[in-house]
Structure 1
Amino acid sequence: MTARRRAQEFCEAYGLSMPILQAPMAGACPPAAAAAVADAGGMGAAGVVLDSPSRIAEWVDEFRSMSAGPFQLNVWIPDPLDDDPAKVSAAEEFLNRFGTPGPEQPPAPSFEEQCEAMLAARPTVVSSIMGLFSPDYVDRLHAAGIAWFACATTLAEARAAQEAGADAIVAQGLEAGGHRGVFAAETAERTAVGLFALLPHIVDGVDVPVIATGGIADGRGVAAALTLGASAVQVGSALLRSPETGIAEAWAASLDGLEPEDTVATRAYSGRLGRAAPTPYVRSWQAPDAPSPAPYPHQRRLVGRWRKGTPDAAAAVALDRANHWAGQAAGRAVAEPAADIVTRMWSEARSLLPDAE
């Protein structure tokens, strides 16, 4: 099957006019950005790992007030809890150099309640990262006419997701900004594979459509991914500087001219490995005297406390007020409307793909 035909079949299945999905970036997918992508012919998205059920419902209502297009809701599969008090204490002591912490934050939303809220919202797609949904939940999604897209970073993960009932695999290369979707947190560093080595490996090893993500920021990347067997692509960092996304000014500034090799794979924000801009805060966790960040979700909780606290005015390094996630192609992000970005990407890709069926 040709790349064009494969993309066309995917688009027909999910109500798209271009095979481009917005990556579900928690904290960087407001309804306006998702609606812009959906109305341009792609698929909008929201990462809801930090959201309460009521917030999920509010996001969906706001999106639907702007667009009738397709969208996905994405959630993390919870990690087994690592309650090593020594690791947590060491991270807490290190964070004291950035200021005085605020009070303990409210408990994280219940994963089970988030799953129920996503089911009730009836999106086009519910997607997962860091693992697999239970068989019962997958059955309930399918009974409601909702597709399940599962993020995978290895062929073994992709095959496990297919066996569990995933309708498509999101193949995530190491170039991707934000968190790596590995099923086992401790393997994230040693299983890092670039997208264009990973993609054909997964395509050849599963029978469901594969969506490519990581380092795709223009039409050349789209065309290359489709040529290697993807049915669609998912883009995140390329949309970060769009006005609809509305990320913090400091975060947007850290992307300007960012070289691919300068991005950093770090656990400093959450305890889970993710790719970010090399801010002084991120670099401070690489210093010889720095401990390992606390395991997820303890590191995320601690960073949240210090952000709510009082910064140390005399500190040489300030705590980033937002996670400066950045993929290896983030330096190619432009401050243009999201619809223009994805429309141009698809136009460029079409010009590069063979017309022959």
Structure 2
Amino acid sequence: MTTRTLSQLSVPIISAPMAGGPSTPELAAAVTRAGGLGMLAGALLDMETFADQIDSLRELTFGVNLFLPDDPTGADVDAYAHTLAPWFRKFDVSPGDMPRRDDRYWEKFAWLVEHPVPLVTSTFGTFDAAETEALHQVGTEVWCTVTSGAEAMEADAAGVDALIVQGPEAGGHRGSFDGSAPEVSLIDLLADVRSASDLPRIAAGGLMDGHDIAPLLAGGSAHAAQLGTAFLDTHEAGTRPVHREQLTANPETAVTRAFSGRPARGLVNEFMRTFGADAPLAYPDVHYLTAPMRAKAGAAGDPSALSMWAGTGHSRARNAAASELMAEWAQQLGR
């Protein structure tokens, strides 16, 4: 089983939509031109930037990812802010304010219906049946990120075309619908999802090259793979210099809510160690709360208080052009 978009790929590799800077139009274009599928991260962008990035890729096949809004959890964010006060003072910043909870999701979704793109994917939930149909009506393919068989069944029932199966090895935010962090390995998760749904599966989590992907394709576990960490140090990525340095200098990753209020895997640093146990489940409240501190740390090249998302294979990330890596991976896959 396949989809229109998957059938067009000469190399079954998708660049993960890495919100917050690493994913760029240049990276998406390079991956698509190399035979894969480039993705844009629509989350955390204002509407002007969102539209400009998408319009810059109109001559190519690409996808756009959206974060579905999280409802308030009732967690005590003020108490967490009080706990973080010494770090705010350390970086001479005030706690950040949340401009709006929904990340302009409804505006972005409406814009995508009015200005169709080849593919739209969701994270933190599935588009409902009406949303999926609205995208289908304008010729847009729809994928959903899932972290369990139950989520796969829900997405399937909503009419999506394919499932991005994200294992715990993946860097960045876990795509779970409820903010949990399931620990079922990617291999076992692919089997669970395969039992729950017949939709095509795109494997994500800890995959760094063609050698990692080949067994999944050969065994029928997956129809393609989505790679994020493997692209973090490419020339086209928007990854901060200190984040690039830490990919090979820092040996450890862990899953934490400390920076954003949702579980996400990143390189372990002092802030994560200090507050990982205290952080509430409250996204995007905590994301905006810590944003000024993270921005200050990033600008200063200080890794101690910066969220540096990375998967378990981060030490294998290479500084190269995305086209060079794609060509090498294609050869490993016999493409």
| Contact 1:130–1:183 under 8 Å retained in 2 | yes
| Contact 1:91–1:294 under 8 Å retained in 2 | no
* Residue from 222, 247, 271 that aligns with 2:213: 222
* Residue from 207, 210, 213 that aligns with 2:198: 207
Matched, 1:170 2:164: yes
After TM superposition, give the deviation of residue 330 of structure 1 in Å: 1.1
Residue number in structure 1 paired with 2:234: 242
Residue number in structure 1 paired with 2:312: 328
Matches within 5 A, 1:1-357: 13-26=6-19, 27-64=21-58, 68-84=59-75, 87-98=76-87, 99=89, 100-102=92-94, 104=97, 106-107=99-100, 109-185=103-179, 187-188=180-181, 191-229=182-220, 230-256=222-248, 258-259=250-251, 262-286=252-276, 291-293=278-280, 295-307=282-294, 318-320=304-306, 323-350=307-334
* Residues 117 and 349 of structure 1, relative CA distance in 2, 3 Å threshold: same
* Residues 17 and 310 of structure 1, relative CA distance in 2, 3 Å threshold: closer
Unaligned 5+ runs, structure 2: none
| Contact 1:101–1:308 under 8 Å retained in 2 | no
| Contact 1:56–1:118 under 8 Å retained in 2 | no
The TM-score, its normalising length taken from structure 2, stands at 0.90
| Contact 1:254–1:279 under 8 Å retained in 2 | no
After TM superposition, give the deviation of residue 305 of structure 1 in Å: 3.6
* Residues 32 and 60 of structure 1, relative CA distance in 2, 3 Å threshold: same
Residue number in structure 2 paired with 1:354: none
Partners of 1:104 and 1:54 lie apart in 2 by 21
The TM-score, its normalising length taken from structure 1, stands at 0.85
After TM superposition, give the deviation of residue 257 of structure 1 in Å: 5.1
Partners of 1:46 and 1:30 lie apart in 2 by 7
Q: Deviations over 1:172-207 (max 9, x none)?
A: 01000000011111x32xx22111111122123311
Q: Deviations over 1:197-229 (max 9, x none)?
A: 111221233111111000110111110221232
After TM superposition, give the deviation of residue 12 of structure 1 in Å: 6.7
Cα RMSD for the two superposed structures: 2.4
After TM superposition, give the deviation of residue 350 of structure 1 in Å: 2.0
Amino acid at match of 2:12: P
Give the number of the structure whose alpha-carbon radius of gyration is greater.
1
Partners of 1:305 and 1:336 lie apart in 2 by 31
Partners of 1:318 and 1:129 lie apart in 2 by 28
Of all paired residues, the percent bearing the same amino acid is 32
After TM superposition, give the deviation of residue 52 of structure 1 in Å: 2.5
Partners of 1:317 and 1:257 lie apart in 2 by 11
| Contact 2:269–2:304 under 8 Å retained in 1 | no
1:72 alignment partner, SS class: strand
Aligned length: 326
Partners of 1:153 and 1:36 lie apart in 2 by 28
After TM superposition, give the deviation of residue 254 of structure 1 in Å: 1.2
1:138 alignment partner, SS class: helix
* Residues 327 and 202 of structure 1, relative CA distance in 2, 3 Å threshold: same
2:305 alignment partner, SS class: coil
Q: Deviations over 1:41-83 (max 9, x none)?
A: 111111111122322110012233xxx3311111111112124
1:181 alignment partner, SS class: coil
* Residues 14 and 73 of structure 1, relative CA distance in 2, 3 Å threshold: farther
Q: Deviations over 1:262-300 (max 9, x none)?
A: 2110111110000000122222214xxx63346111110
Partners of 2:151 and 2:118 lie apart in 1 by 23
